[in-house]
Each structure stands twice: as C-alpha cells, then as structure tokens.
Amino acid sequence: MRNSKMLKGITTMIVAVFLMMVMTATAFAATKDILKDGAFSGTGFINAGQLVDGTIQGPGNWTQLNLGDTAVDAAYLHIIVKATGDTAMAQFVFSDAYTFNLVADLGVTLTEEYQDVVVPIQKAGATSLSWGNFTGLDGGSSVYTIKDIFLSDDAESTITAPATEVTVTEDTATDVPKTGSSNTVAIISLVGMLGCAFVLLGQKKVKSVF
C-alpha cells in the first residue's frame, strides 16, 4: 500500500512538471518592451523626431530617443524600423558608446518596409540604455520610422519575410526533406502526461481489485 501511494505521488508530481513545461514552452524568450506602437513603456521620451500614427518619425541624420536608462537584462535589442532614401550608411548609436553600422556590422539594409533589426546589445558590453540615436542618413530626403523597441533573449526576427510561391512537381516532391515540428517540447510533454494518466488509471484498477 505504501509503495502504491509513493508511486501515485511521484506520478502526480511528474504530471505537474510536464504541465508546467507545456505552459512555459513559449515563454523561454521573455521580452521587455521599451517602445510599443510609438509609446514608451517607461520614462523615455522623444528628443529629435515626432509621434505620427503610432510611430516615431525623424530625420535620417539625427533621430534621437531617450530610452529611460533601461537595464540591458537580455541579449538582444530589437528595433522595428523602416527608412526612406539611401540607407547604405544607416547607423544606430546607443548610450553614446555603442555604434552599429547596419550594413557593415549587422548585414541589414533598411527599406521602406518594416524590418526587425536585431542588435547584439549585451555582447557589445551595454548594461543600460540611455540615448538611442538613429543617424547616418541624409537629413533632407531620408526619414526613420520607428514602431517598436524591445529587449529579448531571442535573436530571431519577429517579422517574417514575405512568402514566395513555390511550385512542387512530382519530380521534386520526393526530394523535399521532412522538417521537425516547432512544437516538439509541447508534444513530448503531452505524451508524457498521457502516459502518467494511464499509470494512474492502472493504479485505480489494481486498487479496486484488492
């Protein structure tokens, strides 16, 4: 009887752990918003630029935001941004100390479509974010439009590239490799939970027999 109760307690604990894994499977890369739809989440403010339709727009040679001395407690800084004109020399400078040339350092060329520019801010040595300068472009014909700024431990872009149409023929269909599911953790957890449920059910049946 004691072994049965112990096994039941362990099984219940395993079920709880698997349930927690399912609930947190998508929460490993937590984010901290600094700017969302043109509005600051903390004490930041616009120093050079203006709020326009849920975005901050400013001249290409100097758009400056105060980022409220936000602590850099995640590896990457994401900036949802677009720009007009020749953007080959676009630069982002943070806290007057960390300069990123978008093309040369990040391999990013800004266009008139929004992009998620991912900056390895923690690797650069930043511990807090005071001023954010968006510069390097022609101030007369170029305009920065900044929608969101947030910190994240995830380096993946939050904006997917436009889907391209692919025609699959009979000759190529068999050559396409199968890819793994992005929900692997959740699926494994659910399978584990079902297994534990069957164990509990079996225990009840055994108990009813005796």
The reported pLDDT for the residue numbered 15 is 46
Q: What is the pTM of this model?
A: 0.66
Q: Is the pLDDT higher at 60 or at 173?
A: 60
Q: How far is CA 56 from the centre of its chain?
A: 21
The reported pLDDT for the residue numbered 183 is 46
The pLDDT-based confidence of 174 (bands split at 50, 70, 90) is: very low
The reported pLDDT for the residue numbered 147 is 98
Query: Cα–Cα distance between 112 and 157 in angstroms, integer?
Result: 17
- pLDDT above 70 covers what percent of the chain? 62
Concatenating the DSSP letter of every residue in 15-81 gives HHHHHHHHHHTT-SS-EEEEEETTEESSS-EEEESEEETTEEEEETTEEEEEEEEEE--SSEEEEEE
Question: Which of 23-27, 72-76, 91-95, 174-178 has the lowest average pLDDT?
Answer: 174-178
**What are the structural domain ranges in the chain?**
8-28+193-210, 31-152
pLDDT per position as a tens digit, 3-15: 555 555 555 555 4
Architecture field, domain 31-152: Sandwich (2.60)
Mapped onto helix, strand or coil, the DSSP state of residue 96 is coil
The reported pLDDT for the residue numbered 30 is 76
- Average pLDDT on 67-79 reads 97
